[in-house]
Structure 1
Amino acid sequence: MKILFYDTKKYDRESFDKIIPEYKDIQIEYAEEDISERTAKYAKGYDAICAFVSSDVSEKVLKILKECGVKLVLMRCAGYNNVDVGAAKKYGITVLRVPGYSPEAVAEHAMALALASNRHIHKAYIKVRENNFSLVGLTGINFYGKIAGIIGTGKIGAAMCRICRGFGMKVMAYDIYKNPDLNFVEYTDLDTVLEKSDLISLHCPLTDDSYHMINKKTIKKMKDNVVLVNTSRGALIDTQDLIQGIREHKFHSVGLDVYEEETKNVFENREDDILETSITSRLLSFPNVIVTSHQAFLTEEALEAISYTTLENAKSFEMGNLIENNVVK
């Protein structure tokens, strides 16, 4: 099987090159450009392509892939809201993903954002580098004894629940399905989680129902001085409403690894670019907001798991085996 990897970075190549010798029947080549209507034609002569979380796997792209003879799209990530699953089914293209690579990696980054934004580590780092040892503007809040509200308790949300419990927090959660392994978590409705939590962390998929679940109305229900963290999908939060809430001093701090207009920014160096909108700039202008570049997954362990699962998906497809990771039903 020949696979063309789109949108690859140094860490992608290092991770996959390390294990590809174990897969003698798979040949991979890397492209730095992401897949698009323009670059999809590069896949001619390949059996499969591999894309990532912000790749354009729309119907137009899938149609070109079909014409190129591609039978398989490998997503080296868990999310696939950027894939037109209906079009993939129409064109007979299988789409396989990596549903669980390292939930602890993402959960640990979520807590890192909560801690760093809460204790203003980003500001303190810059101040001390300039020989400014003043403590003004650096006051945080204790997490110990407070309430953590976890929205979504799948593998990543469950890992976040355990981390919060380790900090001595009471853990409340909202999810349609209760996780039986979380016997220390108090499950309740969304409004109660929003109203009582001192720390709110989002760990749910992006669907029609969850789109902009954090908005003007739900922000108003939150406690004043709340800490909000999002490591899931940017569109879970209405960014304009979030900015208004920050301006109204609703939040103690906000930590974002994802945000609505991140698509063109993710994993790219845009130091010399003029950004298309001012939303990202406005978020970065607030002293109590930390934004990272969709890096919650980025640990050595997670990269290794992504590599193995992706190539195992390809191997199983080639052998005609039934694969649970198929998103095209």
Structure 2
Amino acid sequence: MKVLFFGTRGYDKKSFSKELPNYPDVQVDFTEVNLTPTTAALAKGYDAVCAFVNADVSAMTLEILRGLGVGLVLMRCAGFDAVNVDFAKSIGMKVTRVPAYSPEAIAEHAIALALCADRHIHKAYIRVRENDFSLDGLVGHTLHGKTAGIIGTGRIGAALARICKGFGMTVLGADLYPNQKLVDDGVIDKYVDYDTIYEQADLISLHAFLNEESYHLVNDDTIAKMKDGVILINTARGGLVDIEALIRGIRSGKIGAAGLDVYEGENANVYQNREDQILGHSITARLCSFPNVVLTSHQAFFTYEALQQIAQVTLDNAERYAKGEEFSERSVVC
């Protein structure tokens, strides 16, 4: 079983190489080149390819891979919106993913973004390095006693709910499929509809799947319903938030602080070093101009524990394919 890993970095090689001895039937080669229709031909002679969230696994890419004899696409991430799943299914290709890896890591990053953006920790850090110890412009809010609204209460949302409870917050949840056990266990105070979240929450964190229904879930209309000065956090998918509406909300003062690990228009930046480039009129440059916005580079998952789990699940999927075994139900996409 030969697998070509696209878009790999040093940390990918390290985490996967550490686990490979446990999978003797899987042979892996790494390339830093990302998977696109242009680069798909590199997979000639391989049984499978492995890609990350920033790959382009479109119909054209899949068609080229299938023509080369590749039968499996291993996504080493939870999301698979980069893959044209219907086309993969139509040409008999298998697609797998890593359904959940260290949900606590993402939840911890979400609350870190909230604290950093609201308490202006990023600004304070820079000031102190310049021997400026003034406090002007650094005032924030106490989260204790406030209300957190969590949209999407799967493993990540539930982990964040537990953290917010530890801060002494009231926690409201919104989900198409409410988990009553979270209420019974005191993790979530109650489930409400989206409008109630917008109207009552002081902190709103997004953990929903991105699909046609949730696209631009946060927009001009929903932002208008939010509390003045609300803290908005997105560590899920950029498309959940209409970025132009968000910018308008920040400028109007409706959004008091925003912490974004993902955002619309980030694709050209994800995991790229662009420090010698002028971004010009870009979403990133506009967001970075606001003192109450904190951006990180799609890194909420990025812990040693998560990397280990990603490697184990991905290699397990490859081995199962090599042996003709069934994939775990939550790992298989098609």
- 1:152 counterpart residue number: 152
Distance in 1 (CA, whole Å) between partners of 2:125 and 2:146 is 26
Instruction: Say whether residues 1:64 and 2:68 are aligned partners.
Output: no
- 1:179 counterpart residue number: 179
- 1:196 counterpart residue number: 200
Instruction: Say whether residues 1:326 and 2:329 are aligned partners.
Output: no
Root-mean-square deviation (CA, aligned residues, Å) is: 0.8
Distance in 2 (CA, whole Å) between partners of 1:121 and 1:264 is 27
Cα displacement (A) at 1:317: 1.5
Stretches of structure 1 that go unaligned for 5 or more consecutive residues are: none
- 1:215 counterpart residue number: 219
Cα displacement (A) at 1:277: 4.3
* 2:232 counterpart SS class: strand
Task: Write the mapping of 1:108-123 to structure 2, written as runs, cut at 5 A.
Answer: 108-123=108-123
Cα displacement (A) at 1:273: 2.1
Q: 2:254 is matched by which residue type in structure 1?
A: K
- 2:96 counterpart residue number: 96
TM-score by length of 1: 0.98
- Residue from 288, 302, 306 that aligns with 1:302: 306
Deviations 1:267-318 (A, max 9, x none): 1101122337421100000000000000000000000000000000111112
Task: Write the mapping of 1:21-36 to structure 2, written as runs, cut at 5 A.
Answer: 21-36=21-36
Q: 1:174 is matched by which residue type in structure 2?
A: A
Distance in 1 (CA, whole Å) between partners of 2:32 and 2:271 is 11
Cα displacement (A) at 1:33: 0.9
Cα displacement (A) at 1:228: 0.4
Cα contact 2:25–2:322 (8 A) shared by 1: no
TM-score by length of 2: 0.97
Stretches of structure 2 that go unaligned for 5 or more consecutive residues are: none
Distance in 2 (CA, whole Å) between partners of 1:67 and 1:136 is 62
Distance in 1 (CA, whole Å) between partners of 2:74 and 2:140 is 43
Cα contact 2:145–2:169 (8 A) shared by 1: yes
Range 86-95 or range 180-189, more displaced: 180-189
Distance in 2 (CA, whole Å) between partners of 1:244 and 1:251 is 9
Distance in 1 (CA, whole Å) between partners of 2:209 and 2:249 is 23
Cα displacement (A) at 1:236: 0.4
Distance in 2 (CA, whole Å) between partners of 1:73 and 1:138 is 47
Cα contact 2:152–2:206 (8 A) shared by 1: yes
- 2:270 counterpart residue number: 266
Q: Percent identity?
A: 57
